[in-house]
Amino acid sequence: MNGWKLLLGTLARLVVLVAVSACSGSAPPVEVSSTPFKLGTFELEGRRFVGVVLGDSEVIDLATASEELPGSPSVSPPSDMKDLIARYEDGLRDQIREVIGSVEAAPEGSRPAYIHQLSALRVMPPIMYPLTMVNTAANYAEHDLEMASVRAGAPGQTVSTEGAALPGTESAPGIWERREDDWRWNPFMFLKSPAAVIAHGEAVQIPPGRSQIEWECELGLVIGRSASRVPLEEAEDHVFGYTLENDISDRGGRGDDRYGSDWLVTKSHDTFAPMGPFITPKEFLSDPRGLTVTFSLNGEVLQQGTTAQMVHNVFEQLVYASNILTLRPGDVIATGTPPGSGSARNPPLFLQPGDRMECTYEGVGTLSNPVEAGR
């Protein structure tokens, strides 16, 4: 009797091994794609998901697609964009390429249900929401030149220096060490509230009683790895990719000059940080220091330039910010705007209900937002 039990047990184990072997052999190898992609956050029928954007027209639901890959997914799909960014180098990038490969290998006419037309989805802010948003002020020499005519602040600051340091400028110990041959001023940064973030297509609302509202079309640097006191030669290693931010500004002031500029009033009203529509991973942007920039209002081009005009480039800005506070995956640095702001025009031009703005950076995309009266 014991012999029969041993024989039956052996046969059962052989059947399991053959079945497993057959299943393994039947799963075709997953193609790994090299197709460029962008990443975004979307909503469909009340469900929110991280999507892989192809050709700015189609979106792959990453979590659903990962579940349908042959075999078990190598890593669990991301819960949100910050989770994706944090685990991108730990398997999620490879999984995204496998998902794209499986889509490209699918027989023509057999469209997987996890692929959606972008037009059928609600586009959300790509990162919901950055823990920290750092913005860089007057980081284009020409923008400093135009703002000199409207700036009200400390003595000596009403005249443009076009990015050049004022006499007596020194290093900021522990934060920004100046080289002897550095003609530029030290970086100037401020915090913008993540509560101001809205998505591509959502309306910027002019706050009741505020009439001097303008635009600033900016490149957003998205942090990929925790960054604290990062040396310049390692700065790019901490970048995940790039998005767009329209740094909406209220130039109406607070009604007095107590303590100088009020950056809360100027920068952090609700809806004053349109962001997106997507994130371009850095591997698809060869060099962020020479991108063309265009901003149009109601179809009229009002800002044109290139990121080569920055006083401090994107990597220097990351260094400066990381010497003040730790930047975490999904945090964003808005890197300044080229000339063409509304308050510097003669006469000044401010946003009005019914306006439509479009902010474009080469290789990153176009962020479009209408303007409404605040409710």
Task: Render pLDDT for 357-366 as a digit per residue (tens, 0 to 9).
Answer: 999 999 999 9
Specify the long-range contacts of residues 12-20, CB closer than 8 Å, at least 24 apart. none
Question: Rounded to 5 degrees, what angle do the CA atoms 68, 285, 321 make?
Answer: 105
Distances (CA, A) of 356 to 85, 162, 296, 300: 31, 30, 8, 10
Sorting pLDDT into bands at 50, 70 and 90, what band is 28? Answer: low
Calculate what percentage of the chain has a pLDDT beyond 90. 73
pLDDT tens figures, 92-142: 999 999 999 999 988 877 888 999 999 999 999 999 999 999 999 989 877
Burial class (CB in 10 A: 0-12, 13-18, 19+), 176: middle
Mean local confidence (pLDDT), 281-297:
96
Average pLDDT, the chain: 88
CB 126, CB 84: distance < 8 Å:
no
Question: Rounded to 5 degrees, what angle do the CA atoms 266, 275, 103 make?
Answer: 175
| pLDDT surpassing 70 at residue 3 | no
Can you tell me which residue has the tokens 């290998």?
Answer: 105
Which are the contacts of 42, defined by CB distance < 8 A and separation ≥ 6?
A: 48, 49, 50, 51, 59, 116, 121, 122, 123, 124
Mean local confidence (pLDDT), 257-278:
94
Query: Starting from the edge strand earliest in sequence, which strands make up the sheet with 204-206, in order?
Result: 204-206, 365-373, 356-361, 292-297, 300-306
| Domains contained in the chain, CATH given | 38-124 (no CATH), 133-373 (3.90.850.10)
Can you tell me which residue has the tokens 């009340």?
Answer: 46
Residue 156: what pLDDT? Answer: 46
Instruction: Give the predicted TM-score (pTM) of the model.
Output: 0.88
pLDDT tens figures, 142-182: 766 666 555 544 344 455 566 888 888 999 999 999 998 99
Distances (CA, A) of 91 to 33, 78, 285: 14, 11, 21
Q: What is the distance between the alpha carbons of residues 282 and 303, in angstroms, rounded to a whole number?
A: 24
